[in-house]
Chain A
Amino acid sequence: MNKFLICLFFISNLYANVPIIIGSKSFSESVINSEMLALLLEDSGEKVIRKFSLGGTKVAFDALNHGGIHVYPDYTGTGYVMILKMNGEREPKKVHEIVSRQFLDKYGIAWSKPLGFNNTYALTIRKNDKELSSIKTISELAGKLGAYKLGAPYEFMERKDGYKGMASEYGLNFSQENIVSMNAGLMYSAIKDKQVDFIVSYSTDGRIKAFNLRILKDDKNYFPPYNPAFLAKADFLKQNPVLKETIQKLEGLISEDEMIEMNDQVDRLKQDPKDVARNFLINKKLLKGEIINQEVQTSFISFAYSRKGELLKLVIEHLWLSFSAIFFALLISLPLGVLLTRKEKAAKLIFPVINTIQTIPSLALLGFLIPILGIGFAPAALALFLYSLLPLVRNTYEGIRAVDRNFVEASRGIGLTNTQILFKVEIPLALPIILAGLRTATVIVIGTATLAALIGAGGLGDPIFRGVSTVNSNLILLGAIPSALLAIIADKFIGWSETQLVSKGIRLAKKRRA
């Protein structure tokens, strides 16, 4: 696989007009920044592939590091704390210097100059929260928080400059059961609807304005600077001067207020990040064209209709991913399941392994596979393949073992060979159980395939995650409804094929027993 990527890399040097793969993390700001780069590159005649919504830092960075994408935007603070595992420095320029030097040494990755704004963490409350109306700084909260609830993004609970550091620096005493780690996008709705009282927000989030929230002053300068910049392999930048020049156009371009405004347009006003990015670039005279006045999407039906092209592409991606996983799983599972009925000792060794794979949480499994296979189709298909193994192998094995030994002995007695017994007797009799396994595997795979979007494999998870991080329920439904429908249709289809494939004699017997 790595060799394959290296080959691809050399080929990309030979042919100038090979697409530049741009990544982004799954929240609006990252998507908007990446979209700006994509639009400017397309404007100068480059081909671009967008791999947006790449889950969190780990996925996006690993993808860049292993060649799955060529460039993506990240924050100096993220590089400093999360990737370099460093702590202590809070001066923006120094942090940028450190990450630039260290990334080049360790990974051969270059940081551009920052894009302008600072999007650091901020402890945020409701403006109209009467009990907290006198509080202006985080220091004032020390020791007073026993009954309050805190919502924070998953990352924040893990990172060195995250919750633990903040709590000890300021003496914050949220009780453990009152801390909710959640998807960053859902957090704002949670505080607006009074599910939580504090959130750890991003300082440029559009919803601070839109949801009438207020940032408490970080009076001890606890949070490090988070200046976004584009990251790319230094070699790749050298070979693609256009990319370098285009990134330079964006350096220092975006102010904090402008970023809050654009985030608000995407998150609250449900505008397309692409349009928001284009309008901004036109205003800055980096692109020519008309400002697009957005129609605000209302009903799901008209929304879905307006995106029918995208929807079709996503459905095809989703099906292609699911069916290749199932296809290869069938190819392996049927012979393996049969073989294990002949080798009981091997079965005792292999089933615990397959069972264990099944218990690995899907996101963790995807995480494990990124360093090996990079991002995109291959690791996603492999993960789905692994998930469908258990129901398929187990049902093949159990199905064949459940065949009445009398039938096997009678068939052997009249002169059938072992192979003939397998194909003429055991498999036809085990077929209902094997098909039930296929049914389970297919439903699991079509459902789990939505997670593939987090590692850049596309499919119907893509609008779901974009929708969750931008609080756009139409987008969520655009992914959720078709994926649920696909699962139901696949289930019904396999149910129907059972009536076509399984002998009437077996179905009659089943009915009579019931």
Chain B
Amino acid sequence: MIKVENLRKTFNGNIHAVKGVSFSLEKGEIGCIIGTSGCGKTTTLKMINRLIEPTDGKILVGSDDARSVDPVTWRRKIGYVIQKAGLLPHLTVKDNISLLSKIMKRDRDFITRRVDELMGIINMPYDQFANRYPIELSGGQQQRVGIARALMEDPPVMLMDEPFGALDPITRNSLHEEFWNLNEKLHKTIIIVTHDMDEAFKLGHKIILMHKGEITQVGTKEDFLERPANAFVEDFVQGHSGE
């Protein structure tokens, strides 16, 4: 479904932030990119939706090449969720969710129906929450609205940058479960950037460990626990699990 080939990013000609990253995910698969801060995981994610233009490499969603269209059109095909949701404080829940669809001049009835449906999916009934402002929601509720916003145009691929990072552990846990169940139904291809190994183990079909701009290991939870590629991976897994 999504294929990243030899992705590179060089800032100012000599700072190599990402040095040739390749991986792929099937439809319905969740991939978690994990690593210490400065390892290039967020840069990689932002290159995929072209918030940062890659210096070199190839990105394919289905058979579409990222470079075949302009960045705005490309981003509209990819759902995007960031830490603390990034909901616009001057818009209500329903206006936040439907922002892009309104800009794309979607039919009004479609928008109303879709917002209602999505709010059902995230367990925030329309009647109760549609007209609230972000400031009137809890952190977990804001994050769910952020996910609903990303799903509005029904993109095949979603990118999430530390989506559960700002939440307290209890909320985070319950959201993890909700999110997992949700994607069992929706079958989106999802890339999550995280620094939390537990989260990666819980949500990721595939875990991509990055270090100093390169991929150190790609694999499942079992691969990481039983067959770490090297001593760094072993240390990383031990140091981070059970945190």
A is bound by B: yes
A residues with CB within 8 A of B: 406-407, 409-417, 420, 424-425, 428-429, 502-506, 508-509, 512
Known: A407-B89, A410-B80, A410-B87. 11 other contacts (CB 8 A): A410-B82, A413-B51, A413-B82, A413-B159, A414-B76, A414-B150, A416-B99, A420-B103, A424-B88, A424-B99, A425-B88
Q: Does B56 contact A (CB under 8 A)?
A: no
Asked if A508 contacts B133 (CB within 8 A), the reply is yes
Known: A413-B51, A416-B100, A424-B99. A506 touches B90 (CB 8 A): yes
Asked if B92 contacts A505 (CB within 8 A), the reply is yes
B74 CB to closest chain A CB, in angstroms?
A: 8
Known: A414-B99, A414-B150, A508-B136. A409 touches B89 (CB 8 A): no
Closest chain A residue to B104, Cβ basis: A415
B 122-138 contacts with A by CB, 8 A: 133-136
Determine the chain B residues whose CB is within 8 A of the CB of A415 once the complex forms.
72-73, 75-76, 100, 103
B residues with CB within 8 A of A: 49, 51, 72-73, 75-76, 79-80, 82, 84-92, 99-100, 103, 133-136, 149-150, 159
Asked if B91 contacts A413 (CB within 8 A), the reply is no
Asked if A406 contacts B84 (CB within 8 A), the reply is yes
- Is the contact region of chain B dominated by helix, strand, or loop, or is it mixed? mixed
Determine the chain B residues whose CB is within 8 A of the CB of A429 once the complex forms.
88-90
B87 CB to closest chain A CB, in angstroms?
A: 8
Asked if A424 contacts B51 (CB within 8 A), the reply is no
A-B contacts, 13 of them at CB < 8 A, read A406-B82, A410-B85, A410-B87, A410-B88, A411-B86, A413-B82, A414-B100, A415-B73, A417-B72, A424-B88, A505-B135, A506-B90, A509-B133
Determine the chain A residues whose CB is within 8 A of the CB of B51 once the complex forms.
409, 412-413
Closest chain B residue to A509, Cβ basis: B135
A97 CB to closest chain B CB, in angstroms?
A: 75
> Which residue in A410, A412, A417, A505 is a CB contact (below 8 Å) of B90?
A505
A224 CB to closest chain B CB, in angstroms?
A: 69
Asked if B75 contacts A508 (CB within 8 A), the reply is no
Closest chain A residue to B84, Cβ basis: A406
Asked if B90 contacts A503 (CB within 8 A), the reply is yes
Closest chain A residue to B86, Cβ basis: A410
Per the bound structure, the CA–CA distance linking A111 and B84 in Å amounts to: 79
Determine the chain A residues whose CB is within 8 A of the CB of B99 once the complex forms.
411, 414, 416, 424
Closest chain A residue to B70, Cβ basis: A417
B182 CB to closest chain A CB, in angstroms?
A: 19
Asked if B75 contacts A503 (CB within 8 A), the reply is no
B157 CB to closest chain A CB, in angstroms?
A: 13
Asked if A424 contacts B89 (CB within 8 A), the reply is no
Per the bound structure, the CA–CA distance linking A414 and B79 in Å amounts to: 6
Asked if B89 contacts A509 (CB within 8 A), the reply is yes
Asked if A505 contacts B134 (CB within 8 A), the reply is yes
Determine the chain A residues whose CB is within 8 A of the CB of B49 once the complex forms.
413
Asked if A414 contacts B75 (CB within 8 A), the reply is yes
Per the bound structure, the CA–CA distance linking A415 and B85 in Å amounts to: 15
A398 CB to closest chain B CB, in angstroms?
A: 18
Closest chain A residue to B93, Cβ basis: A505
Closest chain B residue to A417, Cβ basis: B72
B225 CB to closest chain A CB, in angstroms?
A: 33
Asked if A505 contacts B86 (CB within 8 A), the reply is no
Asked if A512 contacts B88 (CB within 8 A), the reply is no
**Which of B49, B84, B99: most chain A Cβ within 10 A?**
B99
Determine the chain A residues whose CB is within 8 A of the CB of B76 once the complex forms.
414-415
Per the bound structure, the CA–CA distance linking A292 and B90 in Å amounts to: 66
Known: A406-B82, A508-B135, A509-B135. A413 touches B89 (CB 8 A): no
Per the bound structure, the CA–CA distance linking A407 and B82 in Å amounts to: 10
